[in-house]
A = this chain, B = another copy of it.
Amino acid sequence: MAATTALLPIALTAQTALTPPDSVFGYKDFSTQAKIDQTFLAVPDAKLAGEELKTLTAVPHIASSKEDYATAQYVAKKFKAAGLETTIVPYKVWLNLPAESKITATTADGKPLMSGPTPEHVSHDPFQDDPRVIMPFNGSSASGDVTADVVYANYGRPEDFQKLADAGIDIAGKIVIVRYGMNFRGVKAYIAQEKHAAGLVIYSDPADDGYFRGDKYPNGPYRPDTGVQRGSIQYMFKYPGDPTTPGIASTPDLPMSKRIPPSQATSQPTIPSIPISYHDAAPILEAMKGATVPHGWQGALPFTYHLGGAGAVKVHLVLKQDYQYRTIWDVIGKIPGTEAPNDWVVAGNHRDAWVYGAVDPNSGTAAMLESVHGIGELLKQGWRPRRTIVFASWDAEEEGLIGSTEWAEGHADELAHAVAYFNTDVGVSGPNFDASAVPSLKEFIRQVTKEVPSPKGGSVYDQWKKQQDQRPALGVQEHASKESAHLDNDVEIGDLGSGSDFTPFIQHLGVPSSDIGSGGPYGVYHSVFDNYAWFTMNADPTFVYEQEMARVFGLEVLHMADADVLPYDYVTYAREIEEYIGAAKKKAQTEGLTLDTSAAEDATKQFLAAAKAIKAKQDHPSGNDAALNTSLRATEGDFLSAAGLPNRPWFKHTVYAPGEYTGYAAVVIPGVNEALDAKKAEQAQAQLAVLTEAIQRAAATLEKAGE
């Protein structure tokens, strides 16, 4: 139990107060924690969150800029004011900024079709004309000056490129134009590069986040004609972070001899790539000839789309990337634990933005600052956490999860027994709460959300469930995957793929992780229009969802820091793995591949039995559960394999990884499933053996703890 003095609860307003639960998983007696929670919940302030958001997003603040450093100082000041032991941690990392970006298109006989990029502009926006706005570009793009015939490849998925091949279109030497959506943009570049395309143009089709979805900014939340989605094409499904230091931290004093040359970094594309608006893409697509596109490829621009490759349009790209070692700044704020100071609860959000980043990421930053504000109030009242709390404001997430990856790589030893990593990136783009997590944390998150009031009435959990029950067909979803095993009738929580800073924690180091956010129609992702004006018009005008997110995020941290027994639910974990193995078995059968799953099934049964036994122990904390907690935490670590995944050894988790060909979306039991997808039966069997050993290790750990 954490050392506390008498706490003075500040009452929540009558409309929002919820009765705290009598008991919560992990606590011997929840009543003391309930009072701490009430005190905490009363602090996060909607108006303050709005002011913090306004300050953070006042000017463009891309990673490594002096404006970025100013936001680091601002966050550090807030951390310190709350009583956190705060440091600004610099790293020196290999980053590009655009020196020149040009795209022109002409007809076969040289008639000009377009010349861009056209500046992002709408009728009314107070932020668009700041000279510090970085021109649209793709992080990790190569430089290049190429002129070529152009081919349209839909979303740039493997199956899209396959359809082009089936239609007899060779993209070697061509410029490929693809639309955003359905996968991580780095995957689009990866396949285009594999197939020897000369260059890549990625545009936002109005079908996916523009007028086809709803009114465009400034009349609504969707992407206006000139809005461009910037973004990294780094092959972070190979490894994220500084491309020159996989597995180690890019500290400023790291000698060059320890770095690999950028040209040898397998996470760096060799293809030049540019993101453009549909304003600029339309004249190219409209002039293209060749076969009309297959079913499902037509977007919402007002003409028939064609595959191209017929020589009707030549595109000329001139892309000069200014690559340098640049300094970025994480901000780390600690509250030492009283009883288990070496057991860290890490909670993070990135701070850097492509431009203003009102939604992505500073809606999360403001929420985190109000979480810190609440915890600071507890500290003032004398409360101290049982375990050490670490708040982190990451830098250079946009370029490739760089600030979080470098810090995690540098703290691998401490994190080997960190009890959780809680992430929030897009904190608020609307009123719909959603989460992804490892299975062991799903019930934990549900319980937390039952304690937090929703601006719509009832609890966050109540509204979350209601919204899931009515969930319409969704459009593009960047940070969430909905492929969990659906084991019960409760609120679904997605699996962790990639696309934000939880990746190094769960997938490289095996720290139990989750990611939360509150979503809504959001068509200005990574454009100049993701700013405070858009935010207050569309996402959260009164910042009440900021307040909600601050409360949920803070409660995650508090409960994990103070629980008697670590509230990991390994029964659900076992059941999900069981489902994954069953699905892989079925897939192998469908594909006519031999896969013997009996050993894996046996191991999973063993794991499930051990999980059930340990659950009985977790349900009755003794108040002196240090040994049990050590085992519980070690179990997640057992899922790591030392060798990592085939061809991408940085990814060590045997159950969750970002898909090599999806990027954001999680692939479950990735070694097995990706081998099956590649029709490599032997490799699938070998990877299943690796997984089986991991499950056996985890089962043995739980069994030993249950003795």
Interface residues of A (CB under 8 A from B): 206, 211-216, 220, 222, 292, 295, 298, 300-304, 472-473
Contact = CB atoms under 8 A, between A and B. Distances in A.
A222 B295 contact: no
Given A212-B298, A212-B304, A301-B302, 4 more contacts: A220-B292, A295-B473, A300-B300, A300-B302
A302 B304 contact: no
A645 B216 CA distance: 50
A304 B215 contact: yes
A206 to B, nearest CB: 7
B300 A222 contact: no
Contacts of A214: 292, 304
21 contacts: A206-B302, A211-B302, A211-B303, A211-B304, A212-B298, A212-B304, A213-B304, A214-B292, A214-B304, A215-B292, A215-B304, A216-B304, A220-B292, A220-B304, A222-B304, A295-B472, A295-B473, A300-B300, A300-B302, A301-B302, A302-B302
Contacts of A300: 300, 302
A616 to B, nearest CB: 46
Contacts of A216: 304
List of 10 A-B pairs having minimum Cβ-Cβ separation, nearest first: A302-B302, A211-B304, A215-B304, A214-B292, A211-B303, A214-B304, A212-B298, A215-B292, A295-B472, A301-B302
A283 B681 CA distance: 58
A472 B294 CA distance: 11
A219 to B, nearest CB: 8
| Identical subunits present | 2
Contacts of A472: 295
A576 B114 CA distance: 59
A302 B292 CA distance: 19
Contacts of A302: 206, 211, 300-302
Contacts of A295: 472-473
Nearest to A302: B302
Contacts of A220: 292, 304
A213 B472 CA distance: 25
A693 to B, nearest CB: 46
A528 to B, nearest CB: 21
A470 to B, nearest CB: 12
A271 B31 CA distance: 70
A303 B304 CA distance: 16
A216 B304 CA distance: 8
A434 to B, nearest CB: 20
Contacts of A211: 302-304
A214 B298 CA distance: 9
A212 B212 CA distance: 13
Contacts of A222: 304
A211 B305 CA distance: 9
Contacts of A212: 298, 304
A246 to B, nearest CB: 44
A300 B212 CA distance: 8
Nearest to A294: B472
A211 B298 CA distance: 9
A496 B646 CA distance: 60
Contacts of A206: 302
A215 B558 CA distance: 60
Contacts of A215: 292, 304
A641 to B, nearest CB: 44
A473 B451 CA distance: 47
A214 B295 CA distance: 10
A295 B472 CA distance: 9
Contacts of A304: 211-216, 220, 222
A682 to B, nearest CB: 36
A354 to B, nearest CB: 25
A384 to B, nearest CB: 51
Nearest to A225: B302
A256 B215 CA distance: 57
A152 to B, nearest CB: 14
Contacts of A213: 304
Nearest to A296: B473
A227 to B, nearest CB: 15
A466 to B, nearest CB: 18
A481 to B, nearest CB: 23
A212 B302 CA distance: 8
A283 to B, nearest CB: 13
Contacts of A473: 295
Nearest to A222: B304
Contacts of A303: 211
Nearest to A472: B295
A94 to B, nearest CB: 41
A298 B215 CA distance: 12
A288 to B, nearest CB: 12
A559 B411 CA distance: 87
A302 B303 CA distance: 10
A500 to B, nearest CB: 29
Nearest to A293: B214
A473 B295 CA distance: 9
A300 B473 CA distance: 19
A125 to B, nearest CB: 18
The CB with the most chain B CB atoms within 10 A, among A214, A222, A302, A303, is that of: A302
Nearest to A301: B302
Nearest to A215: B304
A472 B292 CA distance: 16
A293 to B, nearest CB: 9
The CB with the most chain B CB atoms within 10 A, among A220, A295, A301, A303, is that of: A303
A255 to B, nearest CB: 55
